[in-house]
């Protein structure tokens, strides 16, 4: 069966969230972390998400990874390709959103592609082309301090145009609100003017619904996971999906065994979640600077965890405040510092798994990628979406069973970590 929808995500947490949204609407959706895994997925799937660690790698490497992923999805007959990126449009002037979108546009022959990062549920909205985080422009929010992808310009038309030679336009909110006829006419006008990319305003769920109705059958669409939740109803309405949702699409097995939180994100919300966890269970705050000086922080954290786990879940974090991050970056470089911390948690995950840990919450997109690589996991069965930052899956083939929640460091309730680990014990 040909795929209706083939998604390429630039990190694992967002890719898992998109897959979970589709599953929640009764869509049979596969989730892999390597393009090579697409061909081996079952034939009865409606959608596949390929999630790779491409957000902050060199743009040329990201483009090559997206090209491989797109070819694998097109080989499965995907009617639409979808580029999933973060609601905060994480990128720099060097890429990687623009260059990756360029290669997908060339491969699909798309005349116009919209960019819809909005996620109203999580307070991420676009108005007149400007990105807001709750009540603040993104450039005034804590996102301006991001160690890898600081957002210093809220105007996404300008941000995207600096990354691509494709002309960038705007689908403003007044057009989105003007109704489907006016919206389609505006899209045609952009095409006729030679505009290949367009930032789409969306401040509320109704805006996402309108944009989904415009783009559901376009060869290429891009955005955050939130707009993906509106496509299944349109597929059914147009006869692409059976009228009844697949009731078994989101069923996951119960997984017992010890539970651990591994946190690499330095986002404010991630730190708040760890401190909330620490009120009930212990947290090991790993000193990455000590690791740079040769201290065996992996062995020390493992020994500590094995002493504590008989009494309940624990958390291990390399998360640090901005001043600490800056010191580490000054010693070994910005991207090297991030990779070094991710490697620590990846090695810990493997040794914890070997010691019997079966339930993991992983906080941070890059951290999630490192952990799955170290665990040898390239395929997950994903459960139904619950709320921003809260989705889970299981790995069974060759490494499991393991239950995993891959979450963005910026999302999720403050008190979510322990309840998420507990929920993995239930089918």
Q: What confidence score (pLDDT) does residue 400 get?
A: 67
Q: What confidence score (pLDDT) does residue 181 get?
A: 97
Strand partners, 220: 81
Name the band, by pLDDT with cuts 50, 70 and 90, for residue 321.
low
**What are residue 366's phi and psi, to 5 degrees?**
-65, -40
**Backbone torsion region of residue 337, taken as left when φ is above 0, otherwise alpha when ψ lies between -120 and 50, otherwise beta:** alpha
Could you tell me if residue 265 is inside a domain?
A: yes
- Per-residue pLDDT tens for 224-243? 999 999 999 999 999 999 88
Q: Are 184 and 222 within one domain?
A: yes
Question: What is the rounded CA–CA span in Å between residue 161 and residue 153?
Answer: 12
Q: Are 43 and 176 within one domain?
A: yes
CATH number for the domain including 100? 3.40.50.10840
- Per-residue pLDDT tens for 327-341? 777 777 877 877 788
Provide the domain limits for residue 75: 5-237
CB atoms within 10 A of CB 236: 17
What token pair was written down for 327?
Answer: 């010191």
Q: What confidence score (pLDDT) does residue 323 get?
A: 63
- Per-residue pLDDT tens for 83-94? 999 999 999 999
Q: Are 262 and 233 within one domain?
A: no
Q: What confidence score (pLDDT) does residue 136 get?
A: 96
β 5-9/47-51 pair status:
parallel
Q: What confidence score (pLDDT) does residue 341 get?
A: 82
Q: Would you give the DSSP letter of residue 50?
A: E
Q: Smallest Cα–Cα separation from 80: which of 54, 61, 107?
A: 107
CB of 390 within 8 A of CB of 383?
Answer: no
Question: What is the rounded CA–CA span in Å between residue 178 and residue 116?
Answer: 18
Q: What confidence score (pLDDT) does residue 420 get?
A: 92
Its sign, for the CA torsion 170, 176, 177, 180, is positive
CB atoms within 10 A of CB 10: 26
Q: What confidence score (pLDDT) does residue 140 get?
A: 96
Could you tell me if residue 244 is inside a domain?
A: no
Over residues 268-277, mean pLDDT: 92
Domain end among 171, 205, 237? 237
- Per-residue pLDDT tens for 52-98? 999 999 999 999 999 999 999 999 999 999 999 999 999 999 999 99
Q: Would you give the DSSP letter of residue 194?
A: T
Question: What is the rounded CA–CA span in Å between residue 177 and residue 76?
Answer: 36
What token pair was written down for 304?
Answer: 């500590």
Question: What is the rounded CA–CA span in Å between residue 329 and residue 316?
Answer: 21
The share of the chain scoring above pLDDT 70, in percent, equals 97
Could you tell me if residue 343 is inside a domain?
A: yes
Count of structural domains, the chain: 2
Q: What confidence score (pLDDT) does residue 199 get?
A: 98
Q: Are 127 and 63 within one domain?
A: yes
Could you tell me if residue 232 is inside a domain?
A: yes
Q: Are 222 and 268 within one domain?
A: no
Sequence-distant (6+) residues with CB within 8 A of 354 are none
Q: Are 332 and 211 within one domain?
A: no
Q: Are 73 and 222 within one domain?
A: yes
**What are residue 395's phi and psi, to 5 degrees?**
-115, 125
Q: Are 351 and 222 within one domain?
A: no
Q: What is the mean pLDDT of the chain?
A: 92
Could you tell me if residue 226 is inside a domain?
A: yes
Residue 320 has pLDDT above 90, yes or no: no
Name the band, by pLDDT with cuts 50, 70 and 90, for residue 322.
low
Question: What is the rounded CA–CA span in Å between residue 248 and residue 196?
Answer: 39
Question: What is the rounded CA–CA span in Å between residue 90 and residue 39?
Answer: 29
Q: What confidence score (pLDDT) does residue 82 get?
A: 98
Q: Are 225 and 299 within one domain?
A: no
Question: What is the rounded CA–CA span in Å between residue 169 and residue 188?
Answer: 12
What token pair was written down for 350?
Answer: 């493997």
**Backbone torsion region of residue 261, taken as left when φ is above 0, otherwise alpha when ψ lies between -120 and 50, otherwise beta:** beta
Could you tell me if residue 242 is inside a domain?
A: no
Question: What is the rounded CA–CA span in Å between residue 203 and residue 222?
Answer: 17
Q: Are 289 and 165 within one domain?
A: no
pTM, two decimal places: 0.90
Of 175-189, 245-259, 372-386, highest mean pLDDT: 175-189
CB of 407 within 8 A of CB of 276?
Answer: no
Name the band, by pLDDT with cuts 50, 70 and 90, for residue 399.
low
Helical H runs in 32-121?
59-75, 97-108
Asked, as a colleague might, if the bond just before 345 is cis with ω within 30 of 0, I would say no
Could you tell me if residue 253 is inside a domain?
A: no
CB atoms within 10 A of CB 287: 14
Q: Are 287 and 227 within one domain?
A: no
Q: Are 181 and 301 within one domain?
A: no
CATH number for the domain including 413? 3.40.980.20
Domain end among 188, 203, 237? 237
Question: What is the rounded CA–CA span in Å between residue 341 and residue 132?
Answer: 29
CB of 54 within 8 A of CB of 66?
Answer: yes
- Per-residue pLDDT tens for 27-49? 999 999 999 999 999 999 999 99
Could you tell me if residue 165 is inside a domain?
A: yes
Q: Would you give the DSSP letter of residue 45?
A: -
CB of 261 within 8 A of CB of 363?
Answer: yes
Name the band, by pLDDT with cuts 50, 70 and 90, for residue 2.
very high
Domain end among 237, 267, 289? 237
Residue 359 has pLDDT above 80, yes or no: yes
């Amino acid at each position: 069966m040909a795929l209706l929808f083939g998604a390429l995500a630039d990190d694992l947490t967002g890719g898992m969230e998109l897959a979970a949204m589709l599953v929640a609407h009764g869509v049979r959706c596969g989730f892999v972390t390597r393009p090579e895994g697409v061909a081996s997925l079952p034939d009865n799937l409606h959608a596949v998400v390929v999630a790779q660690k491409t957000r902050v790698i060199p743009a040329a490497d990201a483009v090559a990874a997206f090209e491989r992923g797109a070819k694998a999805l097109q080989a499965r007959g995907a009617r639409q390709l979808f580029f999933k990126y973060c609601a905060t449009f994480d990128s720099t002037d060097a890429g990687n959103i623009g260059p990756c979108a360029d290669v997908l546009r060339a491969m699909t022959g798309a005349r116009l592609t919209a960019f819809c990062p909005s996620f109203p549920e999580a307070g991420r909205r676009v108005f007149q082309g400007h990105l807001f985080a709750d009540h603040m422009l993104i450039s005034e929010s804590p996102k301006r301090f991001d160690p890898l992808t600081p957002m210093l310009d809220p105007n996404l038309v300008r941000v995207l145009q600096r990354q691509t030679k494709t002309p960038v336009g705007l689908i403003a909110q007044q057009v989105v609100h003007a109704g489907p006829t006016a919206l389609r006419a505006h899209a045609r006008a952009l095409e006729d003017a030679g505009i290949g990319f367009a930032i789409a305003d969306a401040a509320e769920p109704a805006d996402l619904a309108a944009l989904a109705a415009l783009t559901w059958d376009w060869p290429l669409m891009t955005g955050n996971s939130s707009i993906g939740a509106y496509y299944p109803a349109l597929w059914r309405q147009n006869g692409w999906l059976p009228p009844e949702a697949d009731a078994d699409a989101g069923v996951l097995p119960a997984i017992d065994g010890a539970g651990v939180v591994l946190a690499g994100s330095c986002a404010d919300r991630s730190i708040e979640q760890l401190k909330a966890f620490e009120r009930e269970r212990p947290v090991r705050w790993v000193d990455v600077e000590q690791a740079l000086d040769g201290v065996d922080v992996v062995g020390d954290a493992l020994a500590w965890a094995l002493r504590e786990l008989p009494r309940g879940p624990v958390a291990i974090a390399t998360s640090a405040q901005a001043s600490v991050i800056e010191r580490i970056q000054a010693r070994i470089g910005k991207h090297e510092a991030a990779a070094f911390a991710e490697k620590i948690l990846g090695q810990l995950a493997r040794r914890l798994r070997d010691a019997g840990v079966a339930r993991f919450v992983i906080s941070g997109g890059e951290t999630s990628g490192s952990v799955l690589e170290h665990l040898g996991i390239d395929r997950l069965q994903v459960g139904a979406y619950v709320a921003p930052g809260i989705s889970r899956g299981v790995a069974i083939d060759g490494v499991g069973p393991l239950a995993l929640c891959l979450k963005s460091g910026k999302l999720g309730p403050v008190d979510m970590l322990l309840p998420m680990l507990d929920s993995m014990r239930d089918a």
